[in-house]
Amino acid sequence: MRFCASLFSISLFALGGCGQPEALGYAFTINDVAIRPAYQSLDVRFQQELELSPQAREALEHGVTLNIRLEMELRNDNDLIVTHREARRFQLRYLPLSQRYQLTEEETGELKAFSRLRHMLAAMDDSNVQLSTGPLPPGSYELRTRISLDESRLPTPMQLPSWFSSQWQHDSEWSVWPFEVSV
């Protein structure tokens, strides 16, 4: 029993240091969102910054596929009821034989190759998404957005350490972007 208590206190001590705030040189942020209503959809242009941590870069260089999740929630401005929710997923890969980085959008299957990691991240910094909403009645709306690194899609041995290491915490905060739909 004494051994279990000691092991438990050592575990708590080790995990306690994992959540300490640090000056981060990496994170995902959404700087601006431009929304243009179209026929039964919204054309959304994101301006964001994606900067990977050294640990995430190293994992990518060693063949680990990184999955980025862009979440969007459409709410009407009157009672803030979510009228539409959608997530887009992107995969980042490094192909060592060709020395290329590959960006894939899961939903469309669109594939792009880049010679440098910074070029691939720059391509994601300015991206366009068409959000199918169906007919929207005229009024005020807001689009909530967030972008994150999906730790649940890392290889199984990496998942638990990624939950406790600040090197894997890239998630942006939810941001709200109001817009109007006219007649």
Task: Domain ranges for the chain, please list them.
Answer: 25-154
First to last CA, the chain: 71
Share of the chain above pLDDT 90, in %: 46
The residue among 183, 149, 139, 143 whose CA lies nearest residue 169 is 149
Whose tokens are 């909403």? That residue is: 133
Is the CB of residue 148 less than 8 Å from the CB of residue 172?
yes
Whose tokens are 């910094």? That residue is: 125
What are the tokens at 34?
């431009």
Output 24 or 123, whichever has higher pLDDT.
Answer: 123
Output 158 or 140, whichever has higher pLDDT.
Answer: 140
Q: What value does the mean pLDDT take over residues 110-120?
A: 93
What is the domain class of 25-154 according to CATH? mainly beta
Tell me how far apart the alpha carbons of residues 51 and 170 are, in angstroms, rounded to a whole number: 8
Q: What value does the mean pLDDT take over residues 175-180?
A: 92
